[in-house]
Structure 1
Amino acid sequence: MGLLDQLAGELLGGSDGASPVLQIAQQLLQSHEGGLAGLLAQLNQGGLADQVKSWVGTGANLPVSADQLSAALGPAVIGKLAAALGMDAGTVTNQLAQGLPQLVDTLTPGGSVEGASDLLSQGLGSLFGR
């Protein structure tokens, strides 16, 4: 099973490339300085170190709330995502809270972030025909 199949199956429950979770993840990773590693560093600094560690690690993923993500990412990042996708900020943070732990877990099966952003960018680009 390839990365795209795994993301679609495990994270999304299907293979629909129009999924809001995939759209938000693609936009977030493409616009975030440092890709996945930069995003995780910001979340660590934003008070979500335990959650991030669990997502990258091999154990169970700790949950995160929309409010926690909103606080860690800041209103500018959330607002930019919402505007780019034509969604409200609450929808963006709710979708991220539901999908981000599994997405990070799927992209870091060996507990390493190295190379994960490139794989995700290639995979999402294929799904969206870019």
Structure 2
Amino acid sequence: MSGILGNILGGVLGGGKGASAGPADILGDLLGGAGGGQDGGGLAGGLGGLIKSFDDNGLGDIARSWIAKGDNLPISAEQIEAVLGSGPLANIAGKLGIDPAHAAATVSQILPQIIDQLTPDGEASGGGLAGALSGGLGDILGKLGR
């Protein structure tokens, strides 16, 4: 399953080069690599740490909309760069063979849906990332690629 998701994610993020980067690696960069706007990234807080990074950048309401039931508020590529920092975005871009600006724009489209998928009923699910990868997350990524 992860090979299929890797191909989907690679297609979504540009050029098919992402097939060699596993989706868990990319999602790990998104959910575990939030640096609060600092280049180093590597925050070991998972989803909670990511939300804290959004709070620290004045964007907590946006991130909480993705967790809560209802509509997800949009986020811009510039806001994603402020929250994640250029280091994690460059890492994602490097794995996928795309430029960091394209990575930020794509993350701004998929991160709300990823977090929404990871937080059914407004809270983190017991299945976490593994459950999302085997569940509907592939469908979300596939729809974005169209």
Q: State TM-score, norm by structure 1.
A: 0.68
Alignment match, 1:40:
51
Q: 1-side partners of 2:48 and 2:86: how far apart? A: 20
Q: 1-side partners of 2:9 and 2:108: how far apart? A: 19
- Structure 1 residue 40: deviation in Å? 2.6
Q: How many residues align?
A: 111
Alignment match, 2:124:
113
Partner-residue secondary structure (3-state), 2:95: helix
Which sections of structure 2, spanning at least 5 residues, go unmatched? 33-43, 139-146
Alignment match, 1:86:
97
How far does the alpha carbon of each residue in 1:33-60 deviate from its partner, in whole angstroms, 9 at most, with x for none? Answer: 2333332332232222011110000021
Higher mean C-alpha deviation, range 107-116 or range 89-98: 107-116
- 1:1-130 matched pairs, under 5 angstroms: 16=8, 18-20=10-12, 26-31=24-29, 32=32, 33-115=44-126, 116-120=128-132, 122-123=133-134
Q: Is the contact made by 2:10 and 2:96 (CA closer than 8 Å) also made in structure 1?
A: no
Q: State TM-score, norm by structure 2.
A: 0.62
**In structure 2, do the counterparts of structure 1 residues 82 and 99 end up closer, same or farther at CA, with 3 Å as the change threshold?**
same
Q: Is the contact made by 1:51 and 1:64 (CA closer than 8 Å) also made in structure 2?
A: yes
Tell me the amino acid that sits aligned with residue 67 of structure 2.
V
RMSD: 3.0
